[in-house]
A and B are shown apart, each in its own frame.
Chain A
Amino acid sequence: MTAARLLTAAATAGTGYVHACLYIDGDYRVIPTIGPAFLLLSSGAIALAALLLAGGSPVLRLGAAGVAAGALGGFILSRTIGVAGFTERGLQPAPQALISLITEIGALALLAVWEVMLRRPQAAVPAAPGRLSG
């Protein structure tokens, strides 16, 4: 489970990093609505990734899922009906678009696996008083 947590942190950090770079470099920063959305997404993703290193609270898992799903949703929307009038094509900008796709889908997959692992009845380790996972 620690592995799931750390890998999720890595994937979320990846999404945050890619979007942060695109924002900082300027091309996305100047687009209305999309620019600020990128800022919010990247800072949220990095914050969640950092906290996921420290623990796996349901709040964090939900947040990470939200970030990944939101980023993925924005990606799909921008290439179909557009987001606030903004549209893009294919896997441009390369390689950032592909990387963010991988990190977002990866994060969602990891979170799903993690969720399944959490629901599985715990192997014979008795919960010590005062110790709760998440």
Chain B
Amino acid sequence: MIHFPRGGRRWRLAVLAAAGAMLLAACAGPAGTSASATISPASGQKLAGFSGNTGTPSALPTARPGMSGMPMSAAPSAAARPVSADAVTILNFAFGPQVITVKAGTTVHWTNRDTEAHTVTSNTGAFGSPVLQPGASYSFTFAKPGTYHYHCSIHPFMTGMVMVS
């Protein structure tokens, strides 16, 4: 038979339960504060309006100004909706559109319309802008086909992707 030190199945279960509870409490912390994002109808009312399409998860992490950086290149394009465009706006700590498709040889323009400085930095070093103050722009011509992930080197959670065909 298996030897249980310190005796008793009950002790084991108690440890498991405690560990599980602690894990959930700790990790559910951030989820708990999400209550502040909910829309609370004013007293005496129920919530008006209707639901948008949030059932479709975007594969791309949403921007988090102020959080310690979590840079990740854009996920495989299957989940993001690529937009055929050659201009990207930097606004609200995000690149919009986040995923664009262009033909080889296209010049893509980034314009910083945010209130803070940002950069456009390729994850592989293929291209990189200087620090773009609010209002500044940066352009790069994508000669070779491929998928180019980029991010802002000041706020690495801001990511984008250029798909060149």
Contacts and interface: CB of A to CB of B under 8 A. Distances in A.
A32 interface: yes
A84 B73 CA distance: 12
Nearest to A128: B3
A30 B19 contact: no
**Chain A interface size, under 10 / 10 to 19 / 20 to 34 / 35 or more:** 35 or more
Q: Chain A interface secondary structure, helix, strand, loop or mixed?
A: loop
A131 to B, nearest CB: 6
A88 B79 contact: no
B66 interface: no
Contacts of A2: 5
Nearest to A89: B71
A30 B60 CA distance: 7
B75 A131 contact: no
Contacts of B71: 88-89, 92
A131 B1 contact: yes
Interface of B: 1-5, 12, 15-16, 19-20, 23, 26-28, 30-31, 57-61, 68-73, 75-76, 78-79, 123, 149, 156-157
Nearest to B61: A27
Contacts, number: 92
Nearest to A5: B5
Most buried by A among B68, B76, B78: B76
A81 interface: no
A87 B61 contact: no
Contacts of B70: 27, 92-93
B68 A94 contact: yes
A71 interface: no
A34 B123 CA distance: 19
Interface string A90-115: 00111000000000000000000000
B26 A17 contact: yes
Contacts of B19: 13, 46, 49-50
A50 B16 contact: yes
Given A21-B27, A87-B73, A87-B149, A55 B68 contact: no
Top 5 closest pairs, chain A to chain B, by CB: A93-B70, A85-B76, A27-B61, A31-B75, A21-B27
Contacts of A21: 26-27, 30
A20 interface: yes
A85 B163 CA distance: 13
